[in-house]
């Protein structure tokens, strides 16, 4: 005896409700000013770190190059 089953709804047929309500932002100029200062300080810090890493990388590359050159010259003189 055949059993009839009701078709299950597909993903596109299921209604979707928003998971959360948008947060209402209050107009607080002091907060906006502090937030802008915080972000500016973060950007300055990020630029300083990137600059420092670039300088350290350049110094390491120069030292490795000089050590390699020195070893090749020493091997040739023996």
Q: For 36-53, what is each residue's pLDDT tens digit? A: 999 999 999 999 999 999
In order of 9, 22, 23, the CA distances from 19 in angstroms are 20, 10, 12
Instruction: Give how many domains the chain has, as a whole number.
Output: 1
Q: For position 71, what pLDDT does the model report?
A: 92
Residue 1 has pLDDT above 60, yes or no: no
Q: For position 24, what pLDDT does the model report?
A: 66
Reading the block at residue 20, the tokens are 């959360």
Find the farthest-apart pair of alpha carbons in the chain and give their distance in angstroms, rounded: 96
Q: Is residue 11 part of a domain?
A: no
Q: Is residue 74 part of a domain?
A: yes
Give the C-alpha separation, 78 to 23, whole Å.
75
Provide the domain limits for residue 72: 35-78
């Amino acid at each position: 005896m055949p059993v009839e089953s009701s078709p299950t709804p597909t993903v596109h047929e299921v209604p979707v409700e928003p998971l959360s309500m948008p947060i209402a932002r209050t107009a607080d100029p002091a907060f906006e000013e502090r937030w802008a200062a915080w972000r500016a300080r973060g950007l300055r810090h990020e630029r300083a770190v990137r600059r420092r890493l670039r300088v350290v990388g350049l110094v390491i590359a120069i030292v490795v190059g000089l050590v390699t050159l020195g070893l090749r010259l020493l091997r040739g003189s023996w």
